[in-house]
């Protein structure tokens, strides 16, 4: 079973629209970490955010915001006023456990976001 | 120089050939990983190493082998390449401290097996 599910394979929006990328995770551990990465067309993986399981505060960074809800095992990512440069594949990822098991990242399948001018 | 360097960046090889992808890092991290990315499948773990003497299989290790030559070097080999190993390969590193801050990724190796 997938530990990280990104149900949206592709999303297309027009510039300045808001868009939310969904991420649902599955773990039995109480200590875990969640991440979002961006992969622009050039192919490199760019770190966006890290959140640990004990910190449910939502976070905002410029046009980006993240909504972490343990009750629904979701860690959704919203881009406000999208821009063409936001076009990329976005990956949600989970690392679970502590100590020696910590470190393996499980990735979702990614959401391809296309922002049209 | 990049913190995590993968060589080559691009490679085309023929079916049945042996090929090695190399990864070196200057982060001083103990842990290193090899992932494979296929369109629509995300990144899947091939092998990982938590220190020089520790090698572990990931989800999709069949057809691959690895060597951790030193703390800073972790190589991935395809003993006999096949077309369905055509993919984008990423090496990554992480610290072994108490908290986990995620990976430092290399720039990727685009491998095509014809």
In this prediction, residues B72-92 reach a mean pLDDT of 96
For residue A58, the model assigns a pLDDT of 86
In this prediction, residues B78-102 reach a mean pLDDT of 89
B 79-98 residues with CB < 8 A to A? 88, 90, 92, 94, 96
For residue A9, the model assigns a pLDDT of 96
Taking the C-alpha atoms of residue B65 and residue A62, their distance in angstroms, rounded to an integer, is 43
Q: Could you tell me the CA-to-CA distances from A106 to A81, A95, A115, B52, B95 in Å, in that order?
A: 29, 6, 27, 22, 17
For residue B96, the model assigns a pLDDT of 76
Beta bridge partners of B31: B94
Average pLDDT, chain A: 92
Residue A10, burial from CB neighbour count under 10 angstroms (0-12, 13-18, 19+): exposed
pLDDT at A90 > cutoff 70: yes
Helices (H), chain A: none
Contact status, residue B49 vs residue B32, Cβ threshold 8 Å: yes
For residue A101, the model assigns a pLDDT of 57
Q: Which chain B residues contact residue A38 at CB under 8 A?
A: none
Taking the C-alpha atoms of residue A30 and residue A55, their distance in angstroms, rounded to an integer, is 12
**pLDDT, tens only, B23-32:** 999 999 999 9
For residue B98, the model assigns a pLDDT of 66
Residue B43 tokens, joined: 């990144």
Rounded to a whole number of angstroms, the distance from the CA of A2 to the nearest CA of chain B is 11
| Side-chain half-sphere exposure of B58, counting CA atoms within 13 A | 24
For residue A102, the model assigns a pLDDT of 61
Taking the C-alpha atoms of residue A117 and residue A94, their distance in angstroms, rounded to an integer, is 33
Hey, are the CB atoms on A44 and B107 less than 8 Å from each other?
yes
Hey, are the CB atoms on B42 and A109 less than 8 Å from each other?
yes
**DSSP E strand stretches across chain B:** 4-7, 10-13, 19-25, 31-38, 42-51, 54-57, 64-70, 73-78, 87-94, 104-105, 109-113
Q: Could you tell me the CA-to-CA distances from B28 to A65, B25, B51 in Å, in that order?
A: 32, 7, 11
Hey, are the CB atoms on B110 and A110 less than 8 Å from each other?
no
For residue B100, the model assigns a pLDDT of 76
pLDDT at B87 > cutoff 90: yes
Hey, are the CB atoms on A103 and B99 less than 8 Å from each other?
no
Average pLDDT, chain B: 93
Taking the C-alpha atoms of residue B7 and residue B111, their distance in angstroms, rounded to an integer, is 11
């Amino acid at each position: 079973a997938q530990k990280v599910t990104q149900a949206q394979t592709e999303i297309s929006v027009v510039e300045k629209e808001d868009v939310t990328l969904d991420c649902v995770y599955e773990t039995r551990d109480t200590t875990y970490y969640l991440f979002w990465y961006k992969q622009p067309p050039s192919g490199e993986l760019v770190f966006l955010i890290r959140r640990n399981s004990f910190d449910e505060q939502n976070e905002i960074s410029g046009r980006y915001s993240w909504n972490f809800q343990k009750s629904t095992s979701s860690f959704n990512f919203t881009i406000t006023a999208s821009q063409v440069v936001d076009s990329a594949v976005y990956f949600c990822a989970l690392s679970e456990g502590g100590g020696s098991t910590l470190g393996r990242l499980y990735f979702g399948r990614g959401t391809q976001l296309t922002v049209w001018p | 120089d990049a913190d995590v360097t993968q060589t080559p960046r691009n490679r085309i090889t023929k079916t049945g050939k042996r090929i090695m992808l190399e990864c070196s890092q200057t982060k001083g991290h103990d842990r290193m990983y090899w992932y494979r990315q296929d369109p629509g499948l995300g990144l899947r773990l091939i092998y990982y190493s938590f220190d020089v003497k520790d090698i572990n299989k990931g989800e999709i290790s069949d057809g691959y082998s690895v060597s951790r030559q030193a703390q800073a070097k972790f190589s991935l080999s395809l003993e006999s390449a096949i077309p369905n190993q055509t993919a984008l390969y990423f090496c990554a590193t992480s610290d072994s401290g108490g908290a986990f801050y995620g990976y430092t990724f290399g720039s990727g190796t685009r491998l095509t097996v014809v």
